[in-house]
């Protein structure tokens, strides 16, 4: 059959783009059309589809598949799934693009020619000349160029409008600094509820600000504002999950873990509100010129830490980031007194009630365990040697914290693994050969002994600044002996032989604790898995 070339709009009426009503075969090229792009929801589309189904040359499944190919997103986006773009996450985070969707939208349509080269439509029959088609190659290419221009214009306009809507939703006044912190001023409001009063602190995760909660009778609260960075957002979500589960098991807050009041997402910044607390035991120590706490205060703080962390362990949670900065006084009010011996004023905290904070790194027993956890100075040897860790690593951290409260300085002041291990051996004695044989970190050892040059400058530093544990005792009496016995058992190298917190709470060091400072005797499990 000799095909007749159709011109202008008449070709549209005579030749359907799916099924050639003249020749009765599948059309190979799209006809020229100056009409608005057809929508599946339009009445005309419904009538045409019903007419095709009644004549049934192509199956309904074929038509639906064809439509999906024509009107779905580009195969560039769908071809290999989400994980294909995982390596690019760092590229668009912190860049001009607010999200992965914005990045793809602009990169895919900013140069439509490159998009066409990567598209499966290049190999499709619509871009190939066929002797059975009703339009010449010349007309086909010209038509496609016009369609490409219209498509590029509509996509660019759509993307521009989408970006404008996103920026309008975020608000022009919401800005982040180069590190991802929210830029705010005192007096700013968040969620039409929280009025920012002052900055309380700053960390790698974000900032903590004091706010007035206008929905709680103008009560002062602490608001933790997480950086607008993906890894910190994910850590905040994990912390929220842990805090919600702990609140379910301890609604009256008997186990001394900080309770979350509320949380929300503020333009990419996860925000968590808490009751206002006092200074951390570290900040108070720092403001007091690193004067150590009296022994009876060390006893009460240590007892509460053991009690709170035992609650976590009973619920199959390891905190993994215990340090003095994460132990806060409920009220850090103090009295001043003059130290005649040192000829200076010193602070004496009135109440030593504490709360445990920062559950961003808390890990359930059944979850993936990161290789490295804990802040350096409070890191257990099994973590350094990459032997795997569990709840005993928290016990080690508590032992190092108690030592610091008692003396006013950290036990292991270092940032190097080999030097850290050398300090441990200097203070606690040689490391068991059992651990040395099991570790993959054999580079730190030679012939089952720590490979350490004591005559080097680093070796002299360790020898001059570290000494056997018992020689740190300030007073040689029974109370101090009991304290160092507890610390020694908490700092046992082998985690399987390290004292548990249940055993620690029954240690003789806590026998002199006043009755009003003793907490509930409930020893049964409060498992979150029940």
Q: What's the CATH number where 445 sits?
A: 1.10.510.10
Same domain, 494 and 455: yes
Give the contacts of 315 (CB within 8 A, at least 6 positions apart).
245, 246, 249, 525, 526, 527, 528, 529
* pLDDT, position 340: 87
**Total number of residues shown for the chain:** 530
- 407 with 314, same domain: the answer is yes
Q: CA 464 from chain center: how many Å? A: 40
Is residue 310 exposed (0-12), middle (13-18) or buried (19+ Cβ within 10 Å)?
A: buried
The residue among 223, 165, 168, 229 whose CA lies nearest residue 191 is 223
Q: Is residue 526 part of a domain?
A: no
Q: Which two tokens stand for residue 421?
A: 């291990």
The answer to whether residues 281 and 268 belong to one domain is no
Asked which of 244, 274, 304 is the last residue of a domain, the reply is 274
Closest CA to 325 of 241, 238, 201: 201
- Residues 386/440, Cβ–Cβ less than 8 Å: yes
Residues 416 and 475 in one domain: yes
Helix locations, 208-363, DSSP H:
230-249, 281-287, 295-314
CA distances from 393 to 265, 373, 388 (A): 32, 9, 10
**Binding residue ranges:** 224
- Residue 395 in any domain: the answer is yes
Same domain, 236 and 292: no
Same domain membership, residue 282 and residue 266? no
65 belongs to a structural domain: no
Do 370 and 403 lie in a common domain? yes
Question: How does pLDDT run across 44-63, given as a tens digit for each residue?
Answer: 666 666 666 655 555 555 44
Count the neighbouring beta carbons within 10 Å of the beta carbon of residue 439.
Answer: 17
Contact present, 18 and 66 (Cβ < 8 Å): yes
**Domain count within the chain:** 2
Nearest to 495 by CA among 397, 418, 415, 408: 397
Using one digit for the tens of pLDDT, what is the confidence trace for 250-302?
Answer: 999 999 999 999 999 999 999 999 999 999 999 999 999 999 999 999 999 99
Q: Which H/E stretch holds residue 346? A: strand 344-349
Question: Would you say residue 19 lies in a domain?
Answer: no
Other Cβ atoms closer than 10 A to 446: 10
Stated as kind and residue range, the H or E segment containing 182 is: strand 182-183
Based on the domain organization, do 203 and 350 belong to the same domain? Answer: no
Residues 186 and 216 both lie in one domain: yes
Residues contributing to the annotated binding site for ATP: 224
Position 27 scores a pLDDT of 47
CB 125 within 8 A of CB 30: no
Cα separation, 433 vs 40, in Å, equals: 73
| Angle made by CA atoms 233, 236, 240, in degrees to the nearest 5 | 140
Residue 244: which CATH number? 3.30.200.20
pLDDT for the residue 271? 97
Range of the domain at 316: 277-517
504 within some domain: yes
Measured from the Cβ of residue 422, the count of other Cβ atoms closer than 10 Å reads: 25
Whether residue 171 lies inside any domain: the answer is: no
The last residue of one of the domains, among 241, 274, 307, is 274
Q: For residue 250, list its beta bridge partners.
A: none
Cα radius of gyration (the chain): 34
Residue 134: inside a domain, yes or no?
no
**pLDDT tens-digit series, residues 145-177:** 555 555 555 555 554 454 444 444 444 578 998
Task: List the one residue out of 58, 61, 69 whose CA is nearest residue 27.
Answer: 58
Residues designated as active site: 321
pTM exceeds cut of 0.85: no
Question: Residue 337 in 3-state DSSP?
Answer: strand
Q: Is residue 356 domain-shared with residue 451, that is, in the same domain? A: yes
From first to last of its 530 residues, the chain has per-residue pLDDT tens of 444 444 444 444 444 444 444 444 544 444 444 444 445 555 666 666 666 665 555 555 544 554 444 444 444 433 333 343 343 444 444 444 444 344 334 443 343 343 333 433 334 433 334 444 444 445 555 555 555 555 555 555 554 454 444 444 444 578 998 899 999 999 999 999 999 999 998 988 999 999 999 999 999 999 999 999 999 999 999 999 999 999 999 999 999 999 999 999 999 999 999 999 999 999 999 999 999 999 999 999 999 999 999 999 999 999 999 999 999 999 999 999 998 888 888 999 999 999 999 998 999 999 999 999 999 999 999 999 999 999 999 999 999 999 999 999 999 999 999 999 999 999 999 999 999 999 999 999 998 899 999 999 999 999 999 999 999 999 999 999 999 999 999 999 999 999 999 999 999 999 999 999 998 754 444 444 33
pLDDT for position 146: 57
With H, G, I as helix, E, B as strand and everything else as coil, classify residue 398: helix
CB atoms within 10 A of CB 238: 17
Asked whether residue 476 falls in the same domain as residue 358, the answer is yes
Q: Which residues in 48-64 are b (16+ Cβ under 10 Å) and which e?
A: ebeebeeeeeeeeeeee
Say whether both 199 and 223 belong to one domain. Answer: yes
> Domain for residue 4, yes or no?
no
Lookup: tokens for 167? 């920026």
């Amino acid at each position: 059959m000799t095909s007749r070339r159709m011109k202008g709009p008449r070709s549209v009426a005579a030749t359907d783009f799916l099924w050639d009503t003249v020749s009765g075969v599948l059309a190979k090229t799209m006809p020229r059309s100056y009409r608005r792009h057809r929508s599946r929801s339009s009445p005309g589309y419904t009538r045409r589809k019903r007419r095709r189904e009644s004549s049934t040359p192509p199956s309904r499944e074929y038509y639906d598949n064809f439509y999906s190919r024509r009107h779905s997103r580009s195969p560039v986006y769908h071809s290999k799934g989400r994980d294909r773009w995982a390596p690019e996450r760092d590229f668009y985070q912190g860049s001009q693009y607010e999200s992965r969707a914005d990045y793809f939208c602009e990169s895919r349509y900013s140069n439509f020619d490159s998009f066409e080269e990567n598209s499966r439509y290049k190999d499709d029959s619509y871009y190939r000349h066929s002797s059975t088609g009703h339009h010449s190659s010349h007309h086909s290419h010209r038509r496609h160029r016009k369609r490409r221009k219209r498509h590029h214009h509509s996509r660019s306009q759509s993307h521009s409008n989408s970006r404008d809507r996103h920026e309008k939703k975020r608000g022009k006044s919401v800005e982040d600094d180069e590190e991802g912190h929210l830029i705010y001023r005192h007096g700013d409001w968040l969620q039409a509820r929280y009025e920012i009063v002052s900055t309380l602190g700053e960390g790698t995760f974000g900032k903590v600000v004091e706010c007035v909660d206008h929905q709680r009778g103008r009560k002062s609260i602490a608001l933790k504002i997480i950086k607008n960075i993906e890894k910190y957002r994910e850590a905040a979500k994990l912390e929220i999950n842990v805090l919600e589960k702990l609140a379910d098991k301890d609604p009256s807050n008997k186990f001394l873990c900080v309770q979350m009041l509320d949380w929300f997402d503020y333009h990419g910044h996860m925000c968590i509100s808490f009751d206002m607390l006092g200074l951390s035991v570290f900040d108070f120590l720092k403001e007091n010129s690193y004067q150590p706490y009296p022994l009876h205060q060390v006893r009460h703080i240590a007892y509460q830490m053991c009690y709170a962390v035992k609650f976590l362990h009973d619920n199959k949670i390891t905190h993994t980031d215990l340090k003095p900065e994460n132990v806060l006084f409920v009220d850090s009010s103090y009295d001043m007194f003059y130290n005649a011996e040192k000829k200076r004023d010193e602070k004496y905290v009135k109440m030593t009630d504490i709360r445990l904070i920062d559950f961003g790194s808390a890990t359930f027993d059944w979850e993936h365990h990161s290789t490295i956890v804990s802040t350096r100075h409070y890191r257990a040897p099994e973590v350094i040697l990459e032997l795997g860790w569990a709840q005993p690593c928290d016990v080690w951290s508590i032992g190092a914290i108690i030592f610091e409260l008692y003396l006013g300085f950290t036990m292991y002041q270092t940032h190097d693994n080999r030097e850290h291990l050398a300090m441990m051996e200097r203070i606690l004695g040689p490391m068991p050969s059992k651990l040395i044989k099991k570790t993959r970190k054999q580079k730190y050892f030679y012939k089952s002994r720590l490979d350490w040059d004591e005559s080097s400058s680093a070796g002299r530093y360790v020898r001059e600044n570290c000494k056997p544990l018992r020689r740190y005792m300030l007073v040689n009496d029974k109370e101090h002996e009991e304290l160092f016995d507890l610390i020694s058992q908490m700092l046992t190298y082998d985690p399987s032989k390290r004292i548990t917190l249940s055993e620690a709470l029954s240690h003789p060091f806590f026998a002199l604790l006043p009755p009003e400072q003793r907490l509930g005797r409930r020893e049964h499990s409060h498992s979150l898995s029940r």
